[in-house]
Amino acid sequence: MSITVTPHLNFRGTARAALGFYAGVFGGEQLVATHAQAYGTTDPTESDLVAWGQVEAPNGFRVMAFDVPARMDYDPGVIPLFVAVRGADADEITDLWSRLVEGSTVIAPLAPAQWAPLYGQLVDPFGVTWVLDVAAAWDGQQA
């Protein structure tokens, strides 16, 4: 048996742009169903919002997105979550970082850290906090 965990991110009107950005960074195909298609929404201000969207790339990256309509409460909070991207190849992580950093606010630059060969943290143009790192060997013992 195997499972896959996919971050499902909520936005207020920017889900389509966020998915396009992530497809540009990670590659893969962007799929979108609008509120009109999924829910029959006829309000012109909300009919083209993303009811379900996804980017799935051959490298295993996958993220889903939703535009929260005006009738629903939406508060993204302060650092409500991190989306973590971990890999074994420093060149691959560095390449992803170089694309994800465009228009983003860097919290911690991509660099060696005490706990990882490479670690970086940023907030993308859509308010999502990302952590990218290269996996470090761990022997299961506490530090």
The pLDDT > 90 percentage for the chain reads 85
What is the residue extent of each domain of the chain?
8-67, 82-134
Contact (CB, 8 A) for 61 and 45: no
Question: Which pLDDT tens digit goes with each residue over 86-99?
Answer: 999 999 999 999 99
**pLDDT for the residue numbered 14:** 97
In CATH, the number for domain 82-134 is 3.30.720.110
The phi and psi torsions of 49 (rounded to 5 degrees) equal -65, 160
pTM: 0.89
Question: Which pLDDT tens digit goes with each residue over 112-130?
Answer: 999 899 999 999 999 999 9
- Per-residue confidence band for 143, with pLDDT thresholds at 50, 70 and 90: low
**CA–centroid distance for 92 within its chain:** 17
Alpha-carbon distance 46 to 69, whole Å? 7
